[in-house]
Amino acid sequence: MALSGMRGLSVFISDVRNCQNKEQERVRVDKELANIRTRFKNERGLSVYEKKKYVWKILYIYMLGYDVDFGHMETMALISAPKYAEKQVGYIVTSCLLNENHNFLQLVINTVRNDIVGRNETFRCLALTMVGNIGGREFSESLAPDVQKLLMSSSCRPIVRKKAALCMLRLYRKNPDVVNTDGWPECMAHLLNERDLGVLIAVMSLLVALVANTPEAYWNCVPKCVQILERLTRGQDVPQDYTYYGIPSPWLQVKTMRVLQYFPSIEDPSIRKSLLNVLQTILLRTDVVKNINKNNASHAVLFEALSLVMHLDAEKDLMSQCIVLLGKFVCVREPNIRYLGLENMTRMLLVADVVDTIRKYQAQIIASLKDPDNSIRRRSLDLLYAMCDVSNAKNIVEELLQYLTTADFGIREELALKAAILSEKFAPDLSWYVDAVLRLIDKAGDFVSDDIWYRVVQVVTNNDDLQAYAAEKARNYLDKPAVHETMVKVSGYLLGEYSHLLARRPGCSSKEIFHIIKEKISAVTTVTKAILLSACVKVLMHCQPPNQELFEQATATFRRYENSVDAEVQQRAVEFLALSRNGLAMVDIMAEMPKFPERQSALLKKAVDTDGDAPEVSATKLRLQQQNSMALVVADRRPPNGDLHLLSVTEAGASNQYPKHAAVAESQASEVPHSSQSQVHSNGATQQHASGTPHGDLLGDLIGTLAIDAPPAEPTTGPSDSQALEAPPKSPAISAASADSLALVVLDAAPTQVQPLKSVSEWFRELSVKDSGVLYEDPYVQIGLKAEWRNAQGRMVLFFGNKFTAPLRNVRGSVLSPPHIRTRSAVVPETIPPRAQVQVPVDVACIGASRETAVLDFSYNVEYTPVKVQLKLPTLLNKFLQIAPVSANEFVAWWRALGGPPSKIQEVVRGVRPMPLTDMADLFIRLHVGVLPGLDPNVNNIVAATTFYSGTAATLCLVRVETDPLDRTQMRLTVASEVPNTTYELKELMKEQLVDIPSLAQPSRTSASSLAAMGLTAPAAALAGLI
């Protein structure tokens, strides 16, 4: 390899190539790195040649994917060398190894600037190239004027000027606020006269970035751009070098047309006319040719022209030519062209009313849905979704349903959502809609989000004539042996509400329906069990005349779940059991669900969110985030639909200041104002599960308490009041003063006695192992919290609920974060309207391990008396843990490798809350510490592993607990990880969790005072209860 000219480098590369496997390669690379490291230590003795060689080697190793954490300074030192050969290596390798956020880069700004303003043209080129590739903010600040001078200079050669143009582009694109663009429109117009096409292309790229930000400033460039286009399409004056397979610079043509697409519209008639002429020429003369490169290049120009025509909203005949072309493209075999045809046809639908024309190609588009190419299938799905209307909905939905069973997993959820939306939006009749969605759930239950079946329930509830039909369908589906859980939910619900409408049909008597439901009940999750129990009681109620046998069966079913571990199921079972004894009186209580208020389908909202978010999350937002925090991991983008669920719910809630379920519950309560309390209960509970929203368990618990305590026939209360009335805390609890003073400071509490309803530290303790729950509650305000955690990132949503009948004023909430945690929170509104709830998202990123948590500094006024609390937020270490699957061998190896303190710390913990080992294992799992059963031969020991994420680092942590079967209150806890601090913090955290015993017996000050507070504010609470 004579060309490389560096023997040492070539030898190293061949060595690496000759390695048989990855381990050998690593050994060889490590050896080389060690060698380079020692050589660099004694830099004096290095010759220029060696320096260059080692720096190239570092780049090669880096490119192979190995971490290189040294040598950056040596590389950058080459930039300051006097000779071209060294400078070049320095510049190129620096721009490959570092990115714009690297602090080291600031060290070379001066050298780079000297090269840019200096006389040496080759140095100038090197410097401009590097700044163009990795220049960040500091570069923009200090270099922009110099670079602009070079671009405008008439004495510089084209090679410098085109580099200057692109360098300018980078500096501007990264920091448009730093670069002063006064006078640029004139400069740009002047630059467009450039004769050298190389410079012109670079200038055009710069112009694209400029007009993208401020099109109105660059009107003067429009005529020039059109002229350039004319010149290029006629092939006038284009040097041979700049034609590509006979086409005059296709890239310049594309770029110029791109510029024109940023101007809202082109009014000047003569310019518009010449532009349309050019476009007409391009549309007409582009033909399919054999040479693939020529074909690609000419079609690149053609597709750009199509975009421009669509943008200009041009004359009818030009548009129809476009459609004809696109129609041709969606039918060709060549995959690239077909892909682009589908993509552009979808775009076309957005700007022009061309559905009728496009429908001609429906068959071909559907054929593309079955193409082996995933990219094409995706485009085709988008297009079908966009072109669907009443006339073809049946057909298209049918195709989508068929495709569902063969589609790849990544796309299924989106597909299911789209099918559901289309079948609702364009249903020729509602029974078809019910059919389609039930089939969808049947075929792809796993991919059907809850929103989809909620919507079916809403539609059926609101359309009386649909109910019997839906119930019959539900019966048929539920009767099948293997049914998807979601199908059980929706069918169970529908049968509960409407099966009585079928009573006269064969196989649909109350008894038979009850039997079908009962069959399923044992094999489903608790959420579904709850729905089915409600369905059972409703079927029982509708059985007229009462049937003794059915009654006994139902009672037996409820009995079975009387002792269920799940509070919700148990509560329903107990209540229904009690209710079913009331016989006819039950009819009032179990009345049919009221109609839903008309509202936009949540699905559509979701689809919009998804569409809007997908590119944003990944592209622009990602880049933004990267600039702000290095902690982000690229691949952790939310999947298009899945995780956005929570997000869309949150947004929906934020827009009307109510979380969805609260709105639903409230609307029901207000529509049925005089029904008895219990009825609202069962409705509320059902609905709450139906909407499955953030603090389901929270409300469920609260309702539970009330349901048992409250007298049965008390009139008119909605579920929301139970929140306010949740006075007698279920676990009286709380280890008082010390803990409280830790978490809570009540300022000026004397006059109003605003006290939390429970101990703040108790709530905090619960949240430390749960992801949703109450953070704080007093007679006026409730703060709920729901969090999602992923690696080093987290998102908490704080729900500030005003329980009071007057608006809460002067509300302030700020999140204070300790040094190892970064938070960013939305602003808490100053006023919360009566009984409204406000959601405040807080983004969290963990940078290091510590026991300190972020704190919410919250205050508000009750009639001019300020209430101020400081609440610890559960940003505990364990939230940034993820259970690590570690095999026995790995565990032992790691355990041995992490020898002793400070990496491995051991402590004998006393005063442990005595609990069986299984409970302890459960606790570990809730702390995100994965227990590895069977790894330790001693059954009294637990070993566990987890990964701690902080910043971009992931640390494997190992845990071993040795308990003494004779004395459960003490144990030996050993924690090991590579990072001593993490080890220590994790050990402390686990100790806290194991030792901290809530003293259940001790009656506490807090509960007493909260009762007192309730006494004082009872009228307010009662008023709040009227919600």
Partner 1 sequence: MIHFVLLISRQGKVRLTKWYSPYTQKERTKVIRELSGMILSRGPKLCNFLEWRGLKVVYKRYASLYFCMCVDADDNELETLEIIHHFVEILDRYFGNVCELDLIFNFHKAYYILDEVLIAGELQETSKKSVARVIAAQDTLIEHAKEQSNSLSNIIAQATK
Binding-site residue set: 7-8, 49, 53-57
CB of 884 to partner 1, least distance (A): 18
Can the peptide bond before residue 481 be classed as cis, meaning omega within 30 degrees of 0?
Answer: no
Q: Which is it for the CA torsion 720, 726, 730, 734, positive or negative?
A: positive
Instruction: Kindly state the tokens that stand for 983.
Output: 């080890």
Q: Please say which residue, 101 or 670, places its beta carbon nearer to partner 1.
A: 101
Q: Please say which residue, 172 or 403, places its beta carbon nearer to partner 1.
A: 172
Q: How far is CA 336 from the centre of its chain?
A: 31
- Residues of 351-375 as b/e, b for ≥16 C-beta within 10 angstroms? ebebeebbeebbebbbebbebeeee
Backbone angles phi, psi at 632, to 5 degrees: -75, 140
CB of 891 to partner 1, least distance (A): 25
CB of 192 to partner 1, least distance (A): 17
CB of 1 to partner 1, least distance (A): 4
Distance CA 421, CA 823 (A): 37
CB of 408 to partner 1, least distance (A): 12
Burial class (CB within 10 angstroms; exposed 0-12, middle 13-18, buried 19+) of 594: middle
Q: Please say which residue, 129 or 553, places its beta carbon nearer to partner 1.
A: 129
Distance CA 782, CA 645 (A): 24
Distance CA 439, CA 428 (A): 17
CB of 454 to partner 1, least distance (A): 28
Q: Please say which residue, 165 or 417, places its beta carbon nearer to partner 1.
A: 165
Q: Please say which residue, 301 or 416, places its beta carbon nearer to partner 1.
A: 301
Q: Please say which residue, 85 or 556, places its beta carbon nearer to partner 1.
A: 85
Rounded (10°) CA dihedral 829, 830, 836, 839: 20
Q: How far is CA 852 from the centre of its chain?
A: 27
Q: Please say which residue, 624 or 745, places its beta carbon nearer to partner 1.
A: 624
Instruction: Kindly state the tokens that stand for 626.
Output: 């990267």
Helix (H/G/I), strand (E/B), else coil: 899: coil
Q: Is 748 left (phi over 0), alpha (psi -120 to 50) or beta?
A: left
CB of 269 to partner 1, least distance (A): 28
Can the peptide bond before residue 728 be classed as cis, meaning omega within 30 degrees of 0?
Answer: no
CB of 651 to partner 1, least distance (A): 19
Distances (CA, A) of 981 to 23, 809, 977: 30, 43, 9
Can the peptide bond before residue 545 be classed as cis, meaning omega within 30 degrees of 0?
Answer: yes
DSSP-derived pairing of the beta strands 930-931 and 953-964: unpaired
Rounded (10°) CA dihedral 232, 235, 238, 239: 150
CB of 65 to partner 1, least distance (A): 5
**Do 393 and 426 form a contact (C-beta atoms < 8 A)?**
yes
Neighbours of 146 (CB within 10 A): 18
CB of 197 to partner 1, least distance (A): 7
Q: Please say which residue, 137 or 972, places its beta carbon nearer to partner 1.
A: 137
Q: How far is CA 791 from the centre of its chain?
A: 13
Which of these, 857, 861, 864, 860, lies nearest to 745 by C-alpha position?
A: 857
Distance CA 272, CA 275 (A): 5
Distance CA 603, CA 396 (A): 18
Q: Please say which residue, 132 or 813, places its beta carbon nearer to partner 1.
A: 132
Which of these, 142, 127, 217, 140, lies nearest to 173 by C-alpha position?
A: 140
Q: Please say which residue, 13 or 749, places its beta carbon nearer to partner 1.
A: 13
CB of 249 to partner 1, least distance (A): 6
Distance CA 691, CA 884 (A): 33
Non-local (6+) Cβ contacts of 584 within 8 A are none
Q: Please say which residue, 202 or 990, places its beta carbon nearer to partner 1.
A: 202
CB of 225 to partner 1, least distance (A): 16
Q: Please say which residue, 89 or 680, places its beta carbon nearer to partner 1.
A: 89
